Every structure is written in C-alpha cells, then in structure tokens.
Structure 1
Amino acid sequence: MPEIAPLDLPETPRLSHNITHFARALRKAGLPAGPGRVIDAIRAVEAAGFTSRDDFFYTLRACFTSRPEHRAVYAQIFRLYWRDPRYMEHMMAMMLPALRGVQEERAAEAAQKRAAEALLDGVEREAPEREDEEGEETEIEVDASLTMSTEERLRTLDFEQMSTEEIAQAKRMLARLTLPVKPFASRRGMASHTGHRIDHRKTLRAAMRRGGEMRRIHLKKPRPKWPNLVVLCDISGSMSQYSRMVLHFLHAVANHKGAGWARVHAFTFGTQLTNITRHLATRDVDAALAAAGKQAQDWEGGTRIGACLHAFNRDWSRRVTGQGAVVLLITDGLDRDDPELLGREIERLHLSARRLIWLNPLLRWDEFAPKARGIAAMLPHVDSFRAGHSVATLEELARVISRPDDMGEKSRLLSEIR
C-alpha cells in the first residue's frame, strides 16, 4: 500500500461532494463505483471518522473495491485525488506520449495510467512547462522517423497493461479482424472435369442408358468441407482481462460471413464449463458479452481445467468436434486439479480435434518455462503453442491455422520438460 499523508480537511468539508467526484474517477478507471457504493462510502466515513489517515483509506477501499485487481487502481487514484497537491502535473507527465528510448525507462504501470486517465477526463492535456536551474527551457529532440502510430503501438501492447482508453481502441481493432480458414478435402466427392478419381456409379449409369456402351468416363474430386471452430476460454481470475479481449475477437469471427467456418462454438470455463455459443449470435458485442457473463457464474473465480475438459469431452466433444474442428484453448495452464486427470482429458481432446492450438498469455515473458505441473501435462498434447496477450498475437492466428506445421514454442519447451 502506498504511503498516505495526513488529510488536511477544511473546517466545513464538502465530504459528500468530494467522495462523489472520487467515485466518478474510480468508475472512469473501470471500477464498479455506482451510486449505491457512493452512499455506503459516505455513511462509512461518517461512522469511522478521521481519527487515522489509514482508516480513511481502508474505509473507502472496503466500499469501492471487491476484487484484488481493483486495489492497485484504487490506491493510485486515492493518492492523486486526496493527497498529492501537484497531482495534475504528475498525471500530465503520465499521459504524455513516450519518447524514443524513454518508454522502457519510465513505463507507467497500468494502474497509474488508468488513474491518470480517469482524473484527466475532460481536462486539456498540455505538457507542463519545466525549466532547469538556470531558467532555460530544456529542449528535447524526437526522432519522428522511428515513432509508431497509435494502432501500431497497441498491436504489441499487453492487454493487461492497457489503460481504459487503450482497451476501447484495442476492442475496435479486434472487431475488424478476421480469421479465414481454408477448406479441407472430405470423403464425399463431387463431379469435376479435372478430377483424378473415377466416378464409377455415374459412369455405369450413363453406360446403361446407352445399352451398355461406355462413351465417357466421369470423374470426380473430393468435396471441400469447412471445419468448425471450437473455443475453450479460461475466465478465471488470472485470465479475466485476456479472456474479455479474446471474446471480443471471437464475436467478430462468429459474425463475419466470409471467414469460412461452418460454425463457431464457444465455451468458458473456470470452476465449471459454460456454453455461450448462442450469445455470439447477438449483433451487439456488448450485449452479447454481458449475456455471456451473466450465464457464466464462475467468472474471475478459481481454475479446474481438468474437470472442465472432462465435462466438455463427455457432453460436447462428439457434437462439435466430430466434423474435423479446429480447437482453440485459451488458458494460462495454472490448474488446481490432478495433473494426471488433466493429461488424460487434454489427450482425449487432442485426438477428437483436427488441430488443437493453445494460446497462453504467459508466453509474453521471455523467461517463461513449463515448470507448472498443469502446463507440463498439457504441452505434449497440443499441435501449436503460442502467446495470446496482444492484438498482434491474435492476428497471427490466421497464419497459424493455415500452416499445420507451425508448432510455435512447443518444440523448445518440450525439450525443457525432458
């Protein structure tokens, strides 16, 4: 928790007014600070009083936060709103475009960026003028030739490190993405003048119409068939931000008519398996995901990958993967179940799918190693193992699906397990 300085309240404080504006900043940053919580916060502060500076911080935090990931954003907004007399200058510095070579040195945390963005809503964002000790302005040279556009930077930015505004822009980028797939040759045939197989039935029937005289040999070729896309998305607490972005992308894929998929099936899992396929048919993405979130009662809960895969293999596998489906598994692999159960179920899923592609946001770290028992049990049974933490990694899926030999990081990590 950040250090909190003593509160300097005036003799006649406008407590309700200040807490209301504080809640508005929290809500802008993505916290569920509705009117009911504002009323509870005012009553709680009146009951607790101001005998301790820490009491005020924890009293408001108890009213405005309900999940551990909200506490970092709350702490930053509290520090800037209630304590720091120069918070506007600090926020302006956070929101300035990063210069070349400086972004790595002074990269703002996601909580700081969202706090600054929330408190700067509607404020003219101008760079604060700074002077050195001699009173002369400091000149900064920017190499504009190597700067990137906003969309190019967002393509490679981690979903978990995005501010509220950046998340909204990334969702618009995901809505424009497509995931085209090539058909595969089925066992059924179709008439073709350039086919390489003889259509015996059609050839003999044509000969019987002419008294047994065979004037022409009819040919056929395999009929093209488009596979199903089956997505199993982890919605546990460690995957909540990534799963929301992936579901936005999945909604765009499901509603794109020219992608080529026969059907798109979507399932979420945390402690239980939930089929949200029917919600993807809703044209409005916000309404679709709101309905899916209402149906999935285990959102941001625990993780039981083995049990959920067992439920999928038992109840849904033959229905949705029996026609050569491509399965996307989006999870970090941090499982609480028995690794032997997880290994059996992921192997069964692999055998029933045409291809099994695993997207894991933990691959964003260069030092990632398959040390967790769940990851080690799952890795041998997937066809491709890739990262899934940014817009760019989701864009690469089209290339991965069209190349069956693309294993991603699987080969390298398997050598570490052995």
Structure 2
Amino acid sequence: MIPPRDALDVPEPAAALGANILGFVRLLRRAGLPVGPGEALRAAEAVSLAGVEQRAVVKAALRATLVRRHDQSLLFDAAFDLFWRDPERARAGAALALTEAQRPEEKPRAGGRRLAEAMAGPRPPPPPPGEEKPLQDAAMTVSEREALGRLDFEAMSAEQIAAAKREIRRLALRLDTRPTRRFRRDPLGPRVDLRGTLREAARTGGEIAGIARRRRVRRPPPLVAICDISGSMARYAQVLLHFLHAVVNERDRVQCFVFGTRLSNITRQLRHKDPEIAFEMVGHMVPDWSGGTRIGEALEEFNRRWGRRVLGQGAVVLLITDGLDREGGAGLAEATERLRRSCRRLVWLNPLLRYAGFEPRSQGIRAMLPHVHEFRPVHNLESLRDLVAALAPGGREERRR
C-alpha cells in the first residue's frame, strides 16, 4: 500500500518518535519558545492519540500543546517545516536557511536567523581552564557593550538580539507628568470638593461632619514618534524602530508613524510582542521603505489627519529624520510650525549630528530648524540614553542651533 503524500517519514518504533519530538521541543526552546519537559510529554501524548498518518494532524497536535500565544505561530510553522522534513539533515537545513536569510534580494522570514542558529545546535564548550590561552593585545579594542551599541540590529545574532533587548529594557522612558482636567478625592488636596461634602452630609441627615477635598490628576503626556524610513535613513530606522517597539509595548498613549513618500501609522503593528513579527507586519504594510523622501507632504498630512487625534494634553513629538527632502523643503516650514504649535515639545532627532562639523546646508534642514524645540543626534545606544535622560522628569531641555 502506498502511503499518502502528506504522511510524515517517522520511524515505526515509539522510542524513535519520542526522540524526534524531544528534539523538536529542544529546537523550539533554543529558538526562543517557552517550552520544557512538561510540554514535551504532552506533545508526545497528543501525537500518539492523533496518529502519524497525516502530516497536518501531527502539526495540529504539536501546535495545540507547544504554542501558547498567537505570536508564536510563525516561528512554530517555520521550525516544523524545517525539522520534520528530515531530522537527520538538520545541520544541512540550518546551513541552507542561514544562507537564504543572508541573501540581499530576498527578505528572510520572521525568526529565520534564530531558527537557523537553533538548528545548528549549541556552540562547543570553551577549553578547560588548565590550558593556557594565547595572549592578545587589546590596546585598540572596545568592550562588548560598546560594540553592541554600534552594531546594526538587523545583523545581530540571537544572542546579540537578546543582549540588545536587555539594553533597551534599561532605557525606560519616563516622561514628566502633566496636570489633567480630572480630579480625584484626596483628604489633603488643595481644592474643596463641594459635591463630595454634600454627599457625605446627606448620609448623616444634613449635618456636615467634615470638608471633602480633591486634587488634580497628573499623568504622563502622550508620546508621538514620526520616523523617516527613506533611503538615507534606512540604516538608522532599523535601530530606532526597535527602540520605538520597546516604548510602545511598555507605555500607553504612544503613537508611531513612518514616512517616506507617504505617511503610515504603524502603532497597531508595533503592539506585537515579538519584534521580528512586528517588523514583518510593518514591512508588509509600508510600501515606500528605503525610497524617496517628502517630509513636507508627510507632516502636512499628519497635521490634517492625525493632529487633533493624538496631539492632545501636551503631547511630546519625536521627529526622526535627516532633513534631506526630495521636494527641496517646499511647504516644510509651515508644516513644522503648525506641528510645533500643536504639541508641548517637539524634539528633532537627526543622525547627521553625529558629525562634528555638521552645518545646516540642506534647504529642508534650514526650513525646519527654526521651528523645533530641541535638536539632538540619534545614531547609537548612547544617543538614545541621552534622549531618555532628557525626556525624564527633571530632564534638561536643550535647543541646539
């Protein structure tokens, strides 16, 4: 009898099947999924009950026992297709996946690099301490943390991505609180609460036993980020979007926009917990990545469509662009001035400020510069730390011209 086309090539003994399932669970764990021995036992039991005659049934059984959240489905599907093709050729498949992920003309799947490294297995252990290591001259080298601050996020391995996430978690963005129109009850509040006083008096037969007081509610202002993703900003946009992804998942009332030749709102896509899946969703949504730049049109569209929605209650705006406008700065001064008047604080982050001899020669830069509150560099983790310190409560506002 000829087996069906979608049947898995699994050995008949149950021990071999259990070993393959255990190897698959270890692969998912190395790739970043939170699975352990308990999930492996449940997966083996589910596969034994469902049977191995059909590939789709086995995949559904493993997904039901190993996947906890929806954002883990893409990584699970890629690992299943690669591992169950032929477990004995895992290393060859890992090398093939890593080669495909490094092709410049094709965009790798989400989690492809982490999956390839997980298929390759753990690294060999370090040599025993008894062996003498050759002396190396480290006079002109830098520490690993400093090198990580200059390394592009797209070129990082799984370990470096984890280290970068830890660095980004330390950059907790805490904005200074601002008073709102709402009040809350406070026995030591500066205002008298007349309604609260009468409400308490009604409970005691009209006798006023005490004066209720209230205090104005304070909360951090909204944060709006408008990031340039044109060709001249492509190498910085990857790093800055990782920073914005961490901010969006940490705080509320955060809105993120990107623009090249058109404006796109990517706040909902950045809400995804996994950064690789979030950026893949952004890549499918944004059609003008690494293209031209129309800063004036993008800011004018933002002011017209989104200004009143997201710029209330003293919002802080981060405008991330190098100021190199395709249209020569047409309408850029008016759009920037209107944006400045609509928010409490407009911070322009320009990676070109990393050069010591920077001069505002571009027409777009000269048109925007008089209408911003602050002008800061942004090109590595150190500049992001300076930005976080400036936006924190008690941070010093700077205006660089």
TM-score, structure 2 length as denominator? 0.61
Q: Which amino acid aligns with 2:105?
A: P
Tell me which residue corresponds to 1:66: none
Contact 1:158 1:389 in 2 (8 A): no
| SS of corresponding position for 2:252 | coil
Tell me which residue corresponds to 1:368: 358
Distance change >3 Å, CA 390–CA 398, structure 1 → 2? same
Q: Which amino acid aligns with 2:174?
A: P
The equivalent position to 1:357 in structure 2, one of 347, 368, 384, is 347
The equivalent position to 1:298 in structure 2, one of 288, 295, 301, is 288
Contact 2:390 2:396 in 1 (8 A): yes
Q: Deviations over 1:304-351 (max 9, x none)?
A: 000001111111111111233221111001112353511111111112
Tell me which residue corresponds to 1:178: 172
Q: For this pair of structures, how many residues does the alignment match?
A: 282
Tell me which residue corresponds to 2:267: 277
Tell me which residue corresponds to 1:119: none
Q: Which amino acid aligns with 1:218?
A: A
| SS of corresponding position for 1:400 | helix
Tell me which residue corresponds to 2:244: 250
The equivalent position to 1:231 in structure 2, one of 225, 231, 236, is 225
Distance change >3 Å, CA 314–CA 167, structure 1 → 2? farther
Q: Deviations over 1:186-232 (max 9, x none)?
A: 12211112212222332344456666654422221111223222111
Mapped partners of 2:260, 2:160: distance in 1 = 23
Distance change >3 Å, CA 358–CA 167, structure 1 → 2? farther
Q: Which amino acid aligns with 2:210?
A: R
| SS of corresponding position for 1:322 | coil
Q: Deviations over 1:224-264 (max 9, x none)?
A: 223222111100000011111111111112122xxxx3322
Q: Which amino acid aligns with 1:309?
A: L
The equivalent position to 1:264 in structure 2, one of 254, 258, 263, is 254
Q: Which amino acid aligns with 1:250?
A: L
Tell me which residue corresponds to 2:216: 222
Contact 2:188 2:213 in 1 (8 A): yes
Q: Which amino acid aligns with 1:230?
A: V
Tell me which residue corresponds to 1:310: 300
Q: Deviations over 1:362-397 (max 9, x none)?
A: 010000112212112212222221111001111222
Distance change >3 Å, CA 25–CA 202, structure 1 → 2? closer
Q: Deviations over 1:92-123 (max 9, x none)?
A: xxxxxxxxxxxxxxxxxxxxxxxxxxxxxxxx
Contact 2:176 2:394 in 1 (8 A): no
Is 2:104 aligned against 1:31? Answer: yes
Tell me which residue corresponds to 2:61: none
Mapped partners of 2:354, 2:104: distance in 1 = 26
The equivalent position to 1:197 in structure 2, one of 191, 197, 200, is 191
Q: Deviation at 1:154?
A: 3.0
The equivalent position to 1:240 in structure 2, one of 213, 223, 234, is 234
Mapped partners of 2:319, 2:175: distance in 1 = 17
Distance change >3 Å, CA 198–CA 338, structure 1 → 2? farther
| SS of corresponding position for 1:232 | strand
Mapped partners of 1:404, 1:345: distance in 2 = 29
Distance change >3 Å, CA 316–CA 404, structure 1 → 2? farther
Q: Which amino acid aligns with 1:268?
A: V
Tell me which residue corresponds to 1:10: none
Mapped partners of 1:210, 1:164: distance in 2 = 68
Tell me which residue corresponds to 1:150: 144
Mapped partners of 1:363, 1:167: distance in 2 = 27
Mapped partners of 2:151, 2:137: distance in 1 = 28
Distance change >3 Å, CA 209–CA 26, structure 1 → 2? closer
Is 2:344 aligned against 1:347? Answer: no
Q: Deviation at 1:404?
A: 7.1
Mapped partners of 1:291, 1:320: distance in 2 = 22
| SS of corresponding position for 1:239 | helix
Distance change >3 Å, CA 34–CA 339, structure 1 → 2? closer
What pairs up with 1:35-184 in 2 under 5 angstroms?
142=138, 148-155=142-149, 157=150, 159=152, 168=161, 171-173=164-166, 175-176=168-169, 177-184=171-178
Contact 1:307 1:337 in 2 (8 A): no
Mapped partners of 1:24, 1:318: distance in 2 = 47
Q: Which amino acid aligns with 2:289?
A: W
What's the C-alpha RMSD, in Å, of the aligned pairs? 3.5
Mapped partners of 1:170, 1:284: distance in 2 = 15
- Between 393-402 and 292-301, the greater mean CA deviation after superposition: 393-402
Contact 2:192 2:211 in 1 (8 A): yes
Mapped partners of 1:30, 1:336: distance in 2 = 30
Contact 2:148 2:164 in 1 (8 A): no
Q: Which amino acid aligns with 2:378?
A: G
Mapped partners of 1:324, 1:361: distance in 2 = 26
| SS of corresponding position for 1:255 | helix
Contact 1:229 1:326 in 2 (8 A): yes
Mapped partners of 1:29, 1:168: distance in 2 = 16
Percentage of matched positions with identical amino acids: 43
